[in-house]
Structure 1
């Protein structure tokens, strides 16, 4: 669930990356230091959403659903 809820980034071509609100400032600075053009988005719109299901090798499942949108992780 923690992975699904983390701020996202989007590549916009070349060295331009767009960061979702909440992206760590030190990570943004590290991208700038490597020559990237870093854009901080005003909202989370345009970054997609996720619902994930992981099957454990020993049996059983773990699921996560993005808390920023309606949705549910469901396996059948």
Structure 2
């Protein structure tokens, strides 16, 4: 399972009712499956995959973006626009 060359990815989740300081989260490890990635790519290509963006910030505000992400109060992704 954890052998040399294994391509495991880490993901964190937090229950919506547990958001904020002290919220309950889960940390899981997953191994990408090519067929699943292809299906996900097809959904994205068809325009049926949406990602909620909470805010877009310039690189000069990267420290603020990190601090904001650690509050647990962000409802979506924080994007750094390197334009």
TM-score, length-scaled by structure 2: 0.24
Richer in helix (by share): 2
Which structure's CA Rg is the greater one?
2
TM-score, length-scaled by structure 1: 0.26
